[in-house]
Structure 1
Amino acid sequence: MTRVYPEQVTASMIRVIHDDEVLLIRHSTEIHFGESDDLLGIAVMTNPGKFEFSKTSGWSEFKLGIGPTNTFEARDYPDLSMQNVIQVIRSSYESAGLSKPNGILRVYNLSNIRQPDGQKAEIYHSRAKHALPVEKLSLLEDPITHSRECFLDECNKSRFVIMGFVDGAFNQKMKQLCSWSEEIEHLACAIDDKGRHSHPRRWRTDPKLMNQAVESLKSVLQR
C-alpha cells in the first residue's frame, strides 16, 4: 500500500528517568524530501507531541525505560503536525509551478520535550531540565530559541521559514521568536482570528488556515 506521506523523518531521542518517570527529548529532527541533503527550510513549532518511531524495532521498549542505552536514533515516518507541514510544502511548490521539493526540512521546537498535551509541555520541560546535567541542556532547548543571532543565522540559511505554535504554551519564548521573525522576509505562517501563529496540527481541521499557510509559502517561493 502506497503511503500518503512517504517522506521520512530522522531524529534522535534522549531518555531521562526522573522520579521513576520516563521523559523523552527529541532533537536533531529532519524531514527528508527526495534524495537531496540540501537544506530547503526550517519549521519552528512548540514541542514534539505524539511523535513515535512506531515502525522502528526497539522503540516500544525504549519509551518504557527498558534497555541499557538512553539514546535512540532512527528513521521513521511523520506525525500529524509534520504531515500538515509536508502538505503545505507540497501544495505550495505545485501551486508556484516548481518541481517537487528535494532536500531537508529541519524541525526546531521551543522545547524538545515529547508531550502530547501542549498545555502540560512546560511542566514536563521543567522536570527534564532539572534531571539533565548542564552540559546536555542544549538537547532540551535548541540554541535558536535563546539567541537572536543563532535564530536569524539559521533562518537566513533557509529558503523559507515556517512557524506555528500551541496557544498558551511557552508564551515568553514564543513571543520572543515572533519578534525576531519580523526581520525574516521569507516567513510562512497562518494567522488565526485572534492574531496568533496557528500550530500546524490545526491546519487539517481548519481548511482556511491550511489555505492561508499554502498561500503564504507560495508567496515566499515566488520571490
Structure 2
Amino acid sequence: MQRFLRYEYLYLYPLLLSAILSLKTFGPKWPKQYKLFGVLVMVSLLTEALANFWIIRLHNLFGWDYSKNNLWIYNLFITVRLVLLQAIYYLLLHNPRIKRMIAVSAPILILFGLINYFFIQGPFQSNTYTVITSHVTIITLCLYYFRQLLQDPYIIVLHKEPMIWMTLGTFLYQTASLPFLVMFGFLNMYHSPLALSFLFINDTFNFLMCICYLISFLCKPQHPQPL
C-alpha cells in the first residue's frame, strides 16, 4: 500500500475528503445540481478505487487471471462523467438555446462514447476519440458558465459559491489534460522523457482539481441578490 504515498496518488486524499463532505448535499437545502456534483465526486472516487485495486488484487481474485489493464474502467468513466456534468450544467445555465444544445448533443455524445468503447477503439486502449469530444464539451460548458456569471444581474460572493470552485477545478484540469491525453501515446513511444514531464503536469492539475472540489464542499449554496 506504499504506492498510495507516491506523488501521483496524492489527489486521492482530497478526493476522499470531498466524497465524505459531499454527503451533506443530499440534504433538503441543497438544489439538484449540487446533489449531482456530489454523485460525480463519489463516482470518481469509486472509479479510482476500482482501477487501482484492479491492478493490485481484483484482476486475479478468486483464482481468475485477467489482465492488469485497467483502462476499461477509466474509459467507461469518461462517458459517465460527461453525462453527469452535462446534467449539472443543464441545471446551472439559464440560456434556453444552450440548454437545448445540451439536450440535443447529450444523447449523441453518450452514444458515440459507448460505440467507441465497445466497437471502435475498444475498452482496453485509451479512448482518445471520446476523450477529445468529452473534454471539448466540458470546457465549453465551463466557459458558458463563466460567461453567465459575468452577465448575471445578481450578486454572489464568488469565493463562497460551491459551483465556482467546482467549475474552476474542472476547467483547469480539462484544459491542462486534453493535450496530454491526446499526445501521450505518441510521446511515450518517441520521446519518453517529455511524456514523463507531461505525466507530472497531469498529476499536478488532477490534484488541484480535487482540492477545488474539496473547497467547494466547504461552502454553501448562496441566494443571489439583485444589483
Answer yes or no: same fold by TM over 0.5. Answer: no
* Larger helix proportion of the pair: 2
Q: Which has the higher strand share?
A: 1
TM-score under structure 1 length normalisation: 0.27
TM-score, normalised with respect to structure 2: 0.27
